[in-house]
Amino acid sequence: MNRVFQLAIVAFFAVLALSTPGFAQEGGSDLGFGGSLGAGLVAIGAGLGIGKLAAAAVESMARQPEVAGRIFPAMIVAAALIEGFTFYAIFVCSGV
């Protein structure tokens, strides 16, 4: 088994064990640690996605400069869609 995969599994179960007391409390609509963890994961995923998108677009523009005029707007639209979903997911994780 890959070392990174093992570490991810251990971290997942540690987070699960630490968040149990927060879920056991009565009343209130505070999502506590779970909402914060979800918002953090969404932000990390969006950052990685937009970074990969921009890297691929810049590399393709460097390889074929004549199509840069068509690649750049498509990249901007895709980045806007990723950011829109990110804001939606953070809104859901915040419990508002």
DSSP for 48-83, please give it: HHHHHHHHHHHHHHHH-GGGHHHHHHHHHHHHHHHH
User: Mean pLDDT of all residues in the chain?
Assistant: 80
Confidence of residue 58 (pLDDT cuts 50, 70, 90): very high
Confidence of residue 57 (pLDDT cuts 50, 70, 90): very high
Q: Does the pLDDT at position 21 exceed 60?
A: no
Mention the CATH class of domain 31-96: mainly alpha
Percentage of the chain with pLDDT > 90?
24
Domain boundaries defined on the chain: 31-96
Q: Tell which phi-psi region holds residue 28, choosing left (phi > 0), alpha (psi between -120 and 50) or beta.
A: left
24 vs 53, residue with greater confidence: 53
The sign of the CA dihedral 37, 41, 42, 44 is positive
Q: Does the pLDDT at position 23 exceed 60?
A: no
